[in-house]
A and B are shown apart, each in its own frame.
Chain A
Amino acid sequence: MEEKELQPKVKEEVPAKGERVRPGRIFVPAVDIYETAEALVLVADMPGVSGDRVSLDLKDSHLIISGEISQPMGEGETLLSQEYQVGDYYREFHLGEMIDKNRIEAFMSDGVLKLTLPKAEKAKPRKIEVKTG
């Protein structure tokens, strides 16, 4: 296998929309979205966010994921050099599929959110048998 080297990316900031109570920047998390026969799976990179600081909101087909980071530095620390910015995460999606809201699963580990959105029964592909007679 060929060795693939990772390239750094500058985090993309969310365009300001209304005013927030919490100070600081907000970034767009990088996501992978894939579809299986059963579900739509969304994986988002949100480094610095622990499981209890993620919030998910699904209204109709509108999904909002957001995460708040915990304190990036300890008390009494001063920054000597900064290459990346820290801040919260926010991203909105419009889901084309019908989702079964009652079976949504979310799992957070090592700063990565994995969201499994099971398709509603009627959205699942169904094989239609053609009868010959």
Chain B
Amino acid sequence: MPIIIREPADWDPFRELEQLQRQMDRLFRQSFGGRFPWRVGVYPLVNISEDRDYVYVRAELPGVKPENLEIHIRDKNLVIRGERKIMGEEKDVNFHRRERESGFFRRVLTLPTPVNPDNVEATCKDGILTIKIAKPEEIKPRQIKVASA
């Protein structure tokens, strides 16, 4: 299981990072005439989904070990950081193709709905990281009974 760290309430670097990310994006867009085709976002790319009780954040991280992953959550802000190491980098080999990359990554994202940061589960399976975050009771849809008069 990756480590999940809850930050103390008075510390908030996430908003700043997020702002910086947005400013950088804007700068890139301006300097390249609104188009920056090879920039598709920040690694890792994530898909976000929801059901009635949870929000799910998924990322493809093939070959990344859970011990090399660190996940932080505070309010609606989620940070995924880690390192991807590539095996088989022995000296005595002759590479024909090298398409896989290794390195560090850090992704800061704001969740689309309010969440309960005390109820988070993260799992890695077949190279896919799934972070399952509970929604607080007050935003869950409620069924309203219709009383007959």
Contact = CB atoms under 8 A, between A and B. Distances in A.
A35 interface: yes
B93 A111 contact: no
A8 B41 contact: yes
A46 interface: yes
Contacts of B46: 81, 83-84
B103 interface: yes
A35 B88 CA distance: 11
Contacts of A79: 47-49
B113 to A, nearest CB: 8
A66 to B, nearest CB: 15
Greatest chain B CB density within 10 A among A10, A70, A111 is at A111
A82 B66 CA distance: 23
Contacts of B61: 47, 111
A interface SS class: loop
A30 interface: yes
Greatest chain B CB density within 10 A among A30, A70, A78 is at A30
Interface residues of B, number: 45
A40 to B, nearest CB: 8
Contact of B105 (A6, A74, A111): A6
Nearest to A82: B47
Interface residues of A, number: 43
A113 to B, nearest CB: 9
Contact of A10 (B40, B88, B98, B105): B40
B86 interface: yes
Contacts of A77: 49-51, 56
A32 B60 contact: no
Given A73-B56, A111-B62, 19 more contacts: A4-B102, A4-B103, A6-B84, A32-B86, A34-B88, A41-B88, A47-B61, A47-B127, A49-B127, A76-B51, A77-B50, A80-B50, A80-B112, A82-B47, A83-B46, A84-B47, A86-B47, A110-B63, A111-B127
14 contacts: A3-B104, A4-B102, A6-B105, A8-B43, A31-B99, A35-B96, A47-B128, A70-B126, A72-B128, A79-B49, A84-B60, A111-B127, A112-B127, A114-B88
